[in-house]
Chain A
Amino acid sequence: MTRGRHASRPGRPAGLITLLAGSLVALGGLAGLVSGAVTSGSGYQGGPIPHVHAPRGRAAMLASASQDGQVPAPLFLVIPAIGVHTRLIRLRTAGDGSMEVPQHANVAGWYAASARPGAIGPAVIAGHVDSLTTPGVFVGLKYLRPGDLVYVVRADVSVVRFVITAIQLYAKDAFPSAAVYGPVPYAAIRLITCGGAFDYATGHYLSNVVAFGYQVGRGYSRHRGHRSE
């Protein structure tokens, strides 16, 4: 009898349990599939944009062809449109021929082999989009729009003002070195961070976000003026 009970009893409850467990697993898979389809591509959606004022100070003059070497070093970067207000550290060229990037995600850096902001040439500024856990100083860079203003405060407390012309996403293996680092006849700014898909295998983003801009000088800044054709 005892033996019989043991032999016979597991059949039904075990079958029932297997049935229920299987259904749960299948339902879980379905839920995962649906939620994946609904929220795929999400991640950080952007927090509230901190309120940042345009810096006050003497406006820098337009870059002139003769003033090379007399331009003061950059200290701060301010981008009201995306709530950026950061100190600028100096980035050098690393031993492997790459540009150094800031050690901390909350600060941007100016590439010391590029033009000083307000001198003729591209002033290259790089910042992180995020750290392992938190948003970085340039998390909002991809939300910049042509016409947005960017300010760099320099060591002599003068303020260089740039207007953004384009924001582009480039695959890292197709980074447009010439467009970013190549010669230009005016004082340009290039803001660089990471973007696009994130590769969990390598721990890196697959693309870069680059914002391009040029200096607007004292009074020469009414870009929404009428076109005359």
Chain B
Amino acid sequence: MRLMSRSSRILNALSAVALSLGLLSIAGPATSATPAGWLRLAHLSPNTPPVDVYLYSLGNPKARVVLHHVSYGTVSPYLRAAAGVYTVEMRPAGATASSPPVLSTAVHVHAGDAYTVAGMGPAKGLRLQVLTDRLTSPPGHAMVRVIQASMREHLVTVRAGSSVIGTKLPFATATAYRAVPMGRLTIRAVGENEHALSTVTLNSGTIHTLVILDRSRHLGIDDLTDAAGTRFHPRTAPETGLGGTAPPRRPSSITWLAFIAAGLLLAGSGLVRFRRSRPSGGSGGSSLQASTSESATR
């Protein structure tokens, strides 16, 4: 039940995000072939009302992306961003784009890297934190980190199966990534008064962030996939062709040169034979008969 309400809530939030992306992305993120990194935006401050999140590339006053009415617990999809420096600003939901932002921070996006920019902390001490997201995991393992975004429980201990991911994590902090064995794992988040349980499937080659959230009545765990690879890496390159459109097999130039040489030899020997068989001293006009008799004489 808990899961159901959680996913539907997140889906609603995501639809809202997608909708605002659709309506308000002013310019796409550079051309598809330029080196790019990835950026996602999150609201993880429990007592901060919904915000509008603006993404600018440095020096351009026009927002590249605006996410409207982003509420607590929302994490946007990763947005592709050409390598460079960006500014993220937060304004109260509905505030005009020209109004001064409540918060802003700069993010340096490197090609091939991924970042989460999250509004964290209590409303009064709200700050934008830039987290670098991991994109690789050791073979046979998944990587897991925790963002502790519960304010009701100031210290939370989180376990994935038998591995401890973080002990007494303070509110508004994030752990480093930890390798855990792949498989279905029970995640336990335990605070002083509340706790939460969630079962997640951690495939090999996946990287996850577990977000500990304040739900209306209890602690919640949101499992985010930061990155995923194929569950198995095939050992050989695929054989996807049988040659029907390949250039036809043709003899190499050496073969042709051999043909020419053999032909010349043959022609040469023929020529020699032809000349030898001519009547000695005979003129070019000698008839077949003459030649015949000449040979006969010999």
When each residue 169-210 of chain A gets 1 if its CB lies under 8 Å from chain B and 0 otherwise, what string results?
A: 010110101100111111000001111011010011100100
Beta-carbon contacts of B63-97 to A below 8 Å, as 1s and 0s?
Answer: 01100000000010111101010000000000000
Q: Is the CB of B270 within 8 A of A19?
A: yes
A36-B256, A184-B229, A219-B23 given; A224·B28 CB < 8 A = yes
Of chain B, the residue at the smallest CB distance from A2 is B296
Residue contact B238 to A99, C-beta cutoff 8 Å: yes
Give the interface centre of B62, B65, B237 by most chain A CB atoms within 10 Å. B237
Counting residue pairs across A and B whose Cβ atoms lie within 8 Å, the total is: 363
Determine how close the nearest CB of chain B comes to the CB of A123; give it in whole angstroms. 9
Contact of A65 among B40, B238, B268, B273 (CB under 8 A): B40
Q: CB < 8 Å: which of A36, A131, A226 contacts B242? A: A131
**Which chain B residues border A50 with CB–CB below 8 Å?**
none
CB of A40 within 8 A of chain B?
Answer: yes
Interface bits B207-241 vs A (CB < 8 Å: 1, else 0): 10100000000000011111111111111111111
- Expressed in whole angstroms, the minimum distance between the Cβ of A17 and any Cβ of chain B is 7
Report Cα–Cα, A32/B260, bound state, in Å: 10
Map CB proximity to A onto B268-298 as digits: 1 under 8 Å, 0 otherwise.
1111111111100000000000011011101
Q: Do B21 and A218 touch (CB < 8 A)?
A: yes
**In the complex, are the beta carbons of B270 and A208 less than 8 A apart?**
no
Q: Quick check: A62 and B18 within 8 Å, CB to CB?
A: yes
What is the minimal beta-carbon distance from A6 to any residue of chain B, in angstroms?
10
Select one of A129, A170, A200 contacting B245, CB under 8 A. A129
The range of chain B's interface size is: 35 or more
Query: CB distance A61 to B227 under 8 Å?
Result: no
| Cα A64 to Cα B79 with chains together (Å) | 11
B25 neighbours in A (Cβ, 8 Å):
219-220, 222
In this assembly, does B125 line the interface, its C-beta being within 8 Å of a C-beta of chain A? no
- Which of B31, B57, B238, B258 makes the CB contact (< 8 A) with A126? B238
Cβ-closest chain A residue relative to B267: A22
Given contacts A29-B256, A218-B21, contact A22 B40 (CB under 8 A): no
- Does B136 lie within 8 Å of A61, measured CB to CB? no
Q: Which residues of chain B in 14-65 are interfacial with respect to chain A, using CB atoms and an 8 Å cutoff?
A: 14-15, 18-19, 21-23, 25-34, 38, 40, 57, 59-60, 62, 64-65
Residue positions of B touching A, CB distance < 8 A: 7, 10-11, 14-15, 18-19, 21-23, 25-34, 38, 40, 57, 59-60, 62, 64-65, 75, 77-80, 82, 84, 114, 133, 135-137, 201, 205-207, 209, 222-253, 255-278, 291-292, 294-296, 298
> Can you list 8 contacts pairing A with B, beta carbon distance less than 8 Å?
A8-B296, A18-B269, A44-B246, A183-B205, A183-B207, A183-B227, A226-B27, A227-B31
